[in-house]
Chains A and B, each alone.
Chain A
Amino acid sequence: MSDNPSATAGVNLTHLQRLEAESIHILREVVSEVEKPVMLYSVGKDSAVMLHLARKAFYPSPPPFPLLHVDTTWKFKAMYELRDRMAKESGMELLVHHNPEAQERGINPFDHGSLHTDMWKTEGLKQALDKFGFDAAFGGARRDEEKSRAKERIFSFRSANHRWDPKNQRPELWRLYNAKKAKGESIRVFPISNWTELDIWQYIHLENIPIVPLYFSAPRPTVQRDGLTLMVDDDRFPLKPGEVPVMKSIRFRTLGCYPLTGAVESEAKTLPEVIQEMLLTTTSERQGRAIDHDQAASMEKKKQEGYF
């Protein structure tokens, strides 16, 4: 961390320093014990922190694995820009995968609902992992996000069919991770499992980690759909008759496909203001994501089927 603990004697490590050390330890274990790791990079704030930690873990070497973006073609433009810039800056190879079937059938979030997430993301991810033969994939999920994640291990095993069995997880003791697996099996590894949303923001602030500008408030063209404020990011957005985008000062708490990601009205233009707003807010982060609006255990079901 930038505020170097060695500056003070009788060192008290801060919670962020300990979280950082733990994440780096996990990243190094995976690289040492598996054959072909990859980092899933979704360009959101959690991915940004994970990538930053990877650069720290292996410095002065570049992280010894590529970045994989399982793209849906429906991300915000600003996300594609940051993605390409960060890949270049980190010296890592960037792999982008589009599910060819979803592409061919023109699967999109406006017409296909949950099939969109299913085909582009869940199926796309499985295809990409199989195509490149990765046996471990880093993901930026956190345990504070959602109940089923609170019980998922840091090393989470997937069968050759990419299925997760929540009843058959390996115990994780001390700092010991068992990375042994049979041929065809793979591991999803979550190095920032123990970080909270506030930790992520504080760390981005302290370490000056580049993030997508959409996290900060600005006047943007919006429409209201199903209780969500959506941003009209490009002209693929089908406006209903008589619907006119309204300019509003908005920002995003999470980023995904722009037609599925709800914005919040906000005046927070700087990181401290964003953190301030987050601390004073009264709704949880994932509320802006359409995926969680099903029943309480929906994420657990999706995960068993191979959603990251």
Chain B
Amino acid sequence: MTTNESSYKADALIAEDIDAYLVQHQHKSLLRFITCGSVDDGKSTLIGRLLYDSKMIFEDQLAALEADSKRVGTQGQEIDFALLVDGLAAEREQGITIDVAYRFFATDKRKFIVADTPGHEQYTRNMVTGASTADLAVILIDARKGVLTQTRRHSYLAHLIGIRNIVLAVNKMDLIDYDQAQYEAIVEDYRVFATSIGIEDFVAMPISGFKGDNITGPSPNTPWYKGPALIEHLETVELDVTTDQAKPFRMPVQWVNRPNLDFRGFSGLVATGTVKPGDAVRVLPSGKTSTVSRIVTMDGDLDQAVAGQSVTICLADEVDCSRGDVLSIADTPPQAADQFEATIVWMADEEMLPGRPYWLKLGTQTVTANIQAPKYQVNVNTMEHLAAKTLDLNAIGVANLSTDRQLVFEPYEQDRDLGGFILIDKLTNATVAAGMLHFSLRRAQNVHWQALDISRDAHSNLKNQKPAVLWFTGLSGAGKSTIANLVEKKLHRMNRHTFLLDGDNVRHGLNKDLGFTDADRVENIRRVGEVAKLMTDAGLIVITAFISPFRQERQMVRDMMKSGEFLEVHIDTPLAEAEARDVKGLYKKARSGELANFTGIDSPYEAPTNPEIRIDTTKMTPEQAADLIVEELLK
């Protein structure tokens, strides 16, 4: 192993004049970057090399590294830099990094935070995570192999997440004898591809992480290469935080600071732009305007705050403003909308369920969002658009989504803070997806509610009844349709205006395009919910008989209805009992494997935890059950 002569630390200055050194070093800027590549490309070795050359490795760590290299290393007696970087015990044994790790080093000019992520396709989620905070991406290529599928994938993802600075590091040059022609062929190959996916510019360099060529300074092995060494480039490239300052001022409000009646400040991190006392600002989404009176910090008031700073802003007027609102320059505010097109990167083991409500967090706003079935999925290796009904782990697709409230936003390519969002599962609280807003859909701005003269009250008064939804849920063969039918007959005899929506019947028409995957089941229930809602607006008593196996969708329908008008009726028949009855012979088919995704067999049923009515069919007849339900309804 060659030890590089140049080191990043000005050792002499540290020893001679520490005060001068400190003054110099407290004015460093910060660059965050991501390295993309597989273990085979020498990524961990490169990062280990950067840490080693910048003297971020101490003697005790080096001793441990030498011992580890001999024990589990892959470089024979040489130091295996990769071991420095591979953190968690499980992955050290597997020999691959399986998560995002952050590394730190510094030179005289800059401090660096490196997001180290694995390169395999199954770790797309980790790469996207690491890239989301990066100013720059280093795409590693093994010089012996050239541009591979994974190179294309990494470049696509880096570009997708909006990284403007791309470095193509052609690594392992030592293994091709520093061959200029081979290097240039690889770069040309990459240029053709990069242009095709919209990457306008990139910087290529021939390096060896293992030997140290063109890492800190020009390598004698590549006299034909006139560009910067990797570190030189990282030290001088323009930062996003600087370009963000030129954009219009926006600050998502995180917290209202109110220590006493005389002080009210709005705390947040300035996402873009610059703000000064006296600036006219607007509170979004309300649109109310005021003027900045002070920018308060513990070090005294500021006369200016810029993108990237955390501050507390006071306004001259008492305007309504709280967490989730966005402070903006008054004359060019961001838009607010509730329907969008977005790119979605799915990050959970459980697939996306179109129609299911998820929490959406964007800036400091958290709303409920429904995602529609994807318009297409992107093959991350070929960039082809594929038809898709859902997205599963590591899939990337484009879909429309709607939110239950107006969301203040900017297109992602203009503003990461107001255009990037995460989706959160409402039951498990897991972060299941990341997304990037493209634009709001026109219909969100142009479709308004039409006021109708005949109100829902007028409809129900004429029928002399209170509208309601009796939502039957239970296993297949539990007795839902039988009891629902009896309930309707009884109500009809009592001169009530009813309508029964039956699972099988609806699938012959309205929902005949849907199958029985989890995603289709969610959409099935969403549509039935919307129809039931329209029927209650018409004043009807709606009875529905659907397995509706998922708690979240039943909750979604409950949330659509007026409070008190939704009664969940659990037709509670044990699986063994329903299977023994097997009225339609379906359990038999499911058990034999003829029928997939059958509730109770290979698809889950989530029983209601707190239904309005619970019918134990092992304890009463359908007739008794129907009487009880009617009684509860009319109570």
B455 at interface, CB cutoff 8 A: no
**CB under 8 Å from chain B, chain A span 208-248:** none
Tell me the complex Cα distance, A12–B313, Å: 21
Residues in B with CB closer than 8 Å to A181 are 429
B102 touches A150 (CB 8 A): yes
B282 at interface, CB cutoff 8 A: no
B259 touches A60 (CB 8 A): yes
B259 touches A61 (CB 8 A): yes
B87 touches A151 (CB 8 A): yes
Nearest opposing residue in chain B for A274, CB measure:
B18
Tell me the complex Cα distance, A272–B22, Å: 8
A114 at interface, CB cutoff 8 A: no
Q: How far is the CB of B274 from chain A (nearest CB, A)?
A: 8
B318 at interface, CB cutoff 8 A: no
B106 touches A198 (CB 8 A): yes
Residues in A with CB closer than 8 Å to B267 are 28, 57-58
B6 at interface, CB cutoff 8 A: no
B29 touches A59 (CB 8 A): no
The segment out of B58-66, B469-477, B541-549, B617-625 that lies at the interface is B58-66
Tell me the complex Cα distance, A195–B462, Å: 69
Tell me the complex Cα distance, A192–B430, Å: 24
A296 touches B68 (CB 8 A): yes
A144 touches B308 (CB 8 A): no
Residues in B with CB closer than 8 Å to A151 are 87-88, 99-102
Q: How far is the CB of B364 from chain A (nearest CB, A)?
A: 7
Q: How far is the CB of A57 from chain B (nearest CB, A)?
A: 7
A88 at interface, CB cutoff 8 A: no
Partner of B126, one of A5, A28, A32, A171: A171
A16 at interface, CB cutoff 8 A: yes
A275 at interface, CB cutoff 8 A: yes
Residues in B with CB closer than 8 Å to A198 are 106
The segment out of A18-26, A36-44, A92-100, A123-131 that lies at the interface is A18-26
Q: With A6-B303, A174-B133 as known contacts, state yes or no: A59 contacts B298, CB within 8 Å.
A: yes
B309 touches A282 (CB 8 A): no
Partner of B28, one of A6, A15, A173: A15
Q: With A31-B255, A59-B298, A194-B104 as known contacts, state yes or no: A180 contacts B416, CB within 8 Å.
A: no
A150 touches B87 (CB 8 A): yes
Nearest opposing residue in chain B for A153, CB measure:
B100
Tell me the complex Cα distance, A279–B22, Å: 11
Partner of B15, one of A24, A176, A276, A296: A276
Interface string of A1-22 (1 = CB under 8 A from B): 1111110001111111111111
B422 touches A25 (CB 8 A): no
B90 touches A18 (CB 8 A): no
Tell me the complex Cα distance, A198–B429, Å: 36
B5 at interface, CB cutoff 8 A: no
B633 at interface, CB cutoff 8 A: no
A55 at interface, CB cutoff 8 A: yes
Partner of B241, one of A10, A13, A19, A300: A13
Residues in A with CB closer than 8 Å to B297 are 56, 59
B110 touches A15 (CB 8 A): yes
Residues in A with CB closer than 8 Å to B59 are 282-283
Residues in A with CB closer than 8 Å to B106 are 196, 198
Tell me the complex Cα distance, A151–B98, Å: 10
Which of B26, B59, B274, B305 is most buried by chain A, counting CB atoms within 10 A of its CB?
Answer: B26
Q: With A56-B297, A171-B434, A276-B14 as known contacts, state yes or no: A178 contacts B104, CB within 8 Å.
A: no
B430 touches A170 (CB 8 A): yes
A175 at interface, CB cutoff 8 A: yes
B501 at interface, CB cutoff 8 A: no
B28 touches A280 (CB 8 A): no
Partner of A4, one of B27, B132, B302, B347: B302
Residues in A with CB closer than 8 Å to B259 are 60-62
A109 at interface, CB cutoff 8 A: no
Q: With A29-B254, A280-B15 as known contacts, state yes or no: A175 contacts B269, CB within 8 Å.
A: yes
Tell me the complex Cα distance, A25–B128, Å: 22
B310 at interface, CB cutoff 8 A: yes
Residues in B with CB closer than 8 Å to A20 are 310
A16 touches B26 (CB 8 A): yes
B468 at interface, CB cutoff 8 A: no
Residues in A with CB closer than 8 Å to B258 are 61
Tell me the complex Cα distance, A15–B104, Å: 12
Residues in B with CB closer than 8 Å to A60 are 257, 259, 263, 265, 296, 298
A21 touches B310 (CB 8 A): yes
Q: With A21-B308, A180-B359, A196-B104 as known contacts, state yes or no: A275 contacts B18, CB within 8 Å.
A: yes
Interface string of A258-288 (1 = CB under 8 A from B): 0000000000000011011001111110010
Residues in A with CB closer than 8 Å to B9 are 279
Tell me the complex Cα distance, A215–B301, Å: 33
Nearest opposing residue in chain A for B246, CB measure:
A10
A77 at interface, CB cutoff 8 A: no
B245 at interface, CB cutoff 8 A: yes
B25 at interface, CB cutoff 8 A: yes
Nearest opposing residue in chain A for B425, CB measure:
A180
Nearest opposing residue in chain B for A143, CB measure:
B102
A14 touches B26 (CB 8 A): yes
A4 touches B28 (CB 8 A): no
Interface string of A173-204 (1 = CB under 8 A from B): 11110101110000000000110101100100
Partner of B27, one of A14, A148, A281: A14
A66 at interface, CB cutoff 8 A: no
Q: With A148-B88, A171-B126, A178-B424 as known contacts, state yes or no: A25 contacts B245, CB within 8 Å.
A: no
B347 touches A5 (CB 8 A): no
A171 touches B431 (CB 8 A): yes
B245 touches A19 (CB 8 A): no
Residues in A with CB closer than 8 Å to B102 are 143, 150-151, 193-194
B306 at interface, CB cutoff 8 A: yes
Tell me the complex Cα distance, A199–B309, Å: 18
A19 touches B30 (CB 8 A): yes
Interface string of B77-90 (1 = CB under 8 A from A): 00000000001111
Residues in B with CB closer than 8 Å to A275 are 18, 22
Partner of B429, one of A24, A57, A178, A282: A178
A103 at interface, CB cutoff 8 A: no
Interface string of B292-335 (1 = CB under 8 A from A): 00001111101111101110100000000001000000000000
A172 at interface, CB cutoff 8 A: yes
Residues in A with CB closer than 8 Å to B113 are 194
**CB under 8 Å from chain B, chain A span 153-176:** 166-167, 169-176
A6 touches B305 (CB 8 A): yes
Residues in A with CB closer than 8 Å to B269 are 21, 24-25, 175
**CB under 8 Å from chain B, chain A span 135-157:** 143-144, 147-148, 150-151
B103 at interface, CB cutoff 8 A: yes
Q: How far is the CB of A42 from chain B (nearest CB, A)?
A: 22
A280 touches B58 (CB 8 A): no
A297 at interface, CB cutoff 8 A: yes
Partner of A5, one of B101, B306, B420: B306
A205 at interface, CB cutoff 8 A: yes
A206 at interface, CB cutoff 8 A: yes
Nearest opposing residue in chain A for B427, CB measure:
A182
Interface string of A60-96 (1 = CB under 8 A from B): 1110000000000000000000000000000000000
Nearest opposing residue in chain A for B270, CB measure:
A21
Tell me the complex Cα distance, A147–B269, Å: 30
Chosen A-B contacts, 27 in total, with CB atoms closer than 8 Å, are A5-B302, A6-B305, A12-B29, A14-B26, A15-B111, A19-B30, A25-B269, A28-B267, A28-B310, A58-B267, A60-B265, A150-B101, A151-B87, A151-B88, A166-B88, A171-B347, A171-B434, A176-B420, A176-B421, A193-B102, A196-B111, A275-B18, A275-B22, A280-B14, A281-B58, A283-B58, A284-B60
- Which 8 pairs across A and B sit closest by C-beta, in order of nearness? A15-B30, A297-B89, A24-B310, A59-B298, A6-B304, A61-B259, A276-B18, A180-B429
A contact residues vs B (CB 8 Å cutoff): 1-6, 10-22, 24-25, 28-29, 31-32, 55-62, 143-144, 147-148, 150-151, 166-167, 169-176, 178, 180-182, 193-194, 196, 198-199, 202, 205-206, 272-273, 275-276, 279-284, 287, 296-297, 300-301
